[in-house]
């Protein structure tokens, strides 16, 4: 799921387990959809994505959508992972010249083993004001909130002034092939003026009720992979030599560890730190204010980057993630290789990062190679109508909550669409208690019950503002 922000202390007492009112019709529908969706084990290779997509497709068909506007699209994330996506179109009542809005979520989840959890991960459990289950936060709750909002709007007689298109993919957690198809081969269905992504944005508050705010994701880093490789003639381990491939590689990795890419402020991060510095005290807040005043103040950027909560937001970061070396216990290594994962600032070509890594290593005996073909990620402009709609939807439930743009250090289905020229905005309205609710991909994943119901209302408000008359 996402990061960030805000709630009142009184709301925290509700989350902590106070009695909830009986859910209304649409709360009950959201719970029903989430419960059934959690039961589908939509992990890579599990084979249940087509059934999950069809289940939601049937919900739209039963609510009156035409069969020609509903598409369950099987595809292969990899040969070992056949999966499916769902595309649903709600045609505008009349043509106004406005291009469609694309609504995004993903239905696949990372694996969860029963022995690792205190409860069954693929059964929705409600207790102490929370929904527990794999996907409750990442990202089935987002798909459910969008689905419920659309069903509710149609039942209430809403007539969109522009086409609304839904795309739920089935491999965001692995290859991201569905998003790539959505931005290219499926463009006849998914072409849009902009997209709203439920797998981004959202809010939170601390356990003591301190507001943290809501974020709107407008950028994310490029995910790209590289390798450092050293080869030599090897030999018997009883006769060590200076040209040991492992030691040579270790020297290169030490240089990588110590290196810092040039700090960069873009539109998204500038707006983010402009909000953050207002509430951040002490040296970290001072560093934010210094960097905003002077983007060339590398020392200030270094202080921000050293903070665990802000790491990755000031620059490109590369880190060694895997090692391979040697072929026998009693032989000098003939090969030593490190896998290096880079999260690159939007607008910087991965090929340029390879060249910079080669300069950092500064050793012709270490071969630096790029091992993927990911395209450069782009940032989405801070579109006034989307910012206004998100702000109004958040403040309808959380008055005075701070709202800030966000650049994700991770990756989502948004990247291929941004590359293809469709701006994407992570604008989900769910929230949690941070850090207690930061359990996506982890043990006992959960979401506050009220956060799901609030999220449905949030999406209804967003769609009325952006696709209403």
Write out pLDDT tens, residues 39-83: 999 999 999 999 999 999 999 999 999 999 999 999 999 999 999
pLDDT of res. 434: 80
pLDDT of res. 435: 73
Q: Which sign does the torsion angle of CA 132, 136, 138, 140 carry?
A: positive
Model confidence band, residue 338 (pLDDT cutoffs 50, 70, 90):
very high
Dihedral (Cα; 336, 370, 270, 439), 10-degree rounding:
-60
Alpha-carbon distance 238 to 247, whole Å?
Answer: 16
Tokens of 262: 């040039």
Cα within 13 Å of Cα(18), Cβ side: 9
pLDDT of res. 4: 35
The answer, yes or no, to whether the previous bond of 288 is cis (omega within 30 of 0) is: no
Alpha-carbon distance 358 to 367, whole Å?
Answer: 8
Q: DSSP alpha helices (H): ranges in 171-318?
A: 177-183, 187-190, 245-258, 267-279, 282-293, 298-305
pLDDT of 135-166, one tens digit each? 999 999 999 999 999 999 999 999 999 999 99
pLDDT of 95-111, one tens digit each? 888 999 999 999 999 99
Decide: helix, strand or coil at residue 21.
coil
Alpha-carbon distance 128 to 138, whole Å?
Answer: 20
pLDDT of res. 230: 98
User: Is residue 436 over pLDDT 90?
Assistant: no
Query: Residues 6 or more apart from 51 whose CB is under 8 A from it?
Result: 40
**Range name among 196-205, 313-322, 435-444 with the lowest pLDDT average:** 435-444
Percentage of the residues of the chain whose pLDDT score is greater than 90:
86
pLDDT of 240-251, one tens digit each? 998 999 999 999
State mean pLDDT over 189-197. Answer: 98
Report the length, in residues, of the chain. Answer: 469
Model confidence band, residue 3 (pLDDT cutoffs 50, 70, 90):
very low
User: Is residue 10 over pLDDT 60?
Assistant: no
Q: Which sign does the torsion angle of CA 348, 353, 356, 360 carry?
A: positive
pLDDT of res. 12: 36
Model confidence band, residue 7 (pLDDT cutoffs 50, 70, 90):
very low
Query: Residues 6 or more apart from 309 whose CB is under 8 A from it?
Result: none
pLDDT of res. 17: 38
Query: Residues 6 or more apart from 119 whose CB is under 8 A from it?
Result: 125, 132, 444
Which DSSP category does 393 fall into?
A: H
Alpha-carbon distance 417 to 401, whole Å?
Answer: 29
pLDDT of res. 377: 92
Domains of the chain, earliest start first: 9-220+378-467 (3.40.630.10), 222-261+316-376 (3.30.70.360), 262-309 (no CATH)
Q: Are 122 and 131 in contact (CB under 8 A)?
A: no
Cβ atoms within 10 Å of 267's Cβ, excluding its own = 16
pLDDT of 251-274, one tens digit each? 999 999 999 999 999 999 999 999
Model confidence band, residue 23 (pLDDT cutoffs 50, 70, 90):
low
Alpha-carbon distance 217 to 219, whole Å?
Answer: 6
User: Is residue 8 over pLDDT 50?
Assistant: no
Model confidence band, residue 21 (pLDDT cutoffs 50, 70, 90):
low
**Range name among 145-149, 201-205, 228-232, 417-421 with the lowest pLDDT average:** 201-205
Alpha-carbon distance 245 to 106, whole Å?
Answer: 43
Query: Residues 6 or more apart from 18 whose CB is under 8 A from it?
Result: 129
Task: List beta partners, residue 403.
Answer: 214
Q: How far is CA 250 from CA 103, 122, 170, 230, 341, in A?
A: 46, 43, 39, 10, 16
């Amino acid at each position: 799921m996402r990061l960030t922000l805000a709630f009142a202390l009184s709301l925290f007492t509700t989350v902590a387990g106070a009695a909830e009112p009986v859910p209304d019709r649409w709360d009950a529908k959201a719970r029903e959809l989430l419960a059934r969706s959690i039961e589908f084990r939509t992990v890579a290779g599990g084979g249940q994505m087509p059934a999950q997509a069809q289940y939601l497709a049937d919900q739209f068909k039963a609510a009156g959508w035409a069969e020609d506007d509903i598409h369950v699209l099987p595809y292969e994330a990899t040969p070992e992972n056949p999966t499916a996506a769902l595309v649903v179109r709600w045609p505008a009542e009349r043509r106004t010249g406005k291009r469609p809005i694309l609504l995004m979520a993903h239905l696949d989840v990372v694996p969860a083993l029963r022995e690792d959890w205190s409860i069954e991960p693929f059964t929705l459990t409600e207790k102490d004001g929370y929904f527990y289950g794999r996907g409750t936060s990442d990202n089935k709750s987002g798909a459910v909130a969008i689905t419920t909002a659309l069903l509710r709007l149609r039942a209430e007689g809403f007539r969109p002034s522009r086409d609304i298109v839904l795309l739920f993919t089935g491999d965001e957690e692995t290859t991201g092939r569905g998003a790539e198809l959505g931005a290219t081969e499926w463009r006849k269905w998914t072409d849009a003026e902009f997209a709203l992504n439920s797998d981004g944005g959202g809010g939170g508050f601390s356990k003591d009720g301190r507001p943290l705010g809501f974020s709107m994701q407008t950028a994310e880093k490029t995910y790209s992979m590289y390798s450092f490789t050293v080869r030599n003639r090897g030999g018997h381990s009883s006769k060590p030599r200076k040209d040991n491939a492992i030691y040579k590689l270790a020297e290169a990795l030490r240089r990588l560890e110590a290196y810092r890419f040039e700090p960069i402020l873009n539109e998204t991060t500038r707006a983010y730190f402009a909000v953050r510095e207002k509430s951040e005290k002490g040296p970290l807040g001072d560093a934010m204010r210094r960097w905003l005043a002077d983007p060339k103040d590398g020392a200030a950027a270094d202080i921000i980057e050293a903070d665990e909560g802000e790491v990755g937001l000031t620059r490109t970061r590369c880190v060694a993630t895997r090692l391979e070396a040697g072929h026998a216990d009693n032989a000098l290594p003939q090969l030593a290789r490190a896998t290096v994962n880079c999260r690159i600032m939007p607008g910087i070509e991965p090929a340029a990062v390879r060249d910079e890594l080669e300069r950092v290593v500064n050793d012709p005996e270490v071969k630096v190679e790029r091992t993927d073909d990911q395209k450069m990620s782009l940032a989405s402009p801070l579109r006034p109508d989307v910012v206004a709609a998100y702000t109004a939807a958040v403040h309808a439930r959380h008055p005075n909550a701070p709202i800030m743009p966000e650049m994700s250090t991770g990756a989502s289905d948004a990247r291929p669409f941004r590359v293809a020229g469709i701006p994407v905005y992570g604008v989900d309205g769910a929230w949690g208690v941070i850090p207690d609710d930061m359990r996506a991909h982890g043990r006992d994943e959960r979401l506050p019950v009220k956060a799901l119901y609030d999220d449905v209302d949030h999406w209804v408000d967003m769609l009325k503002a952006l696709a209403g008359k």
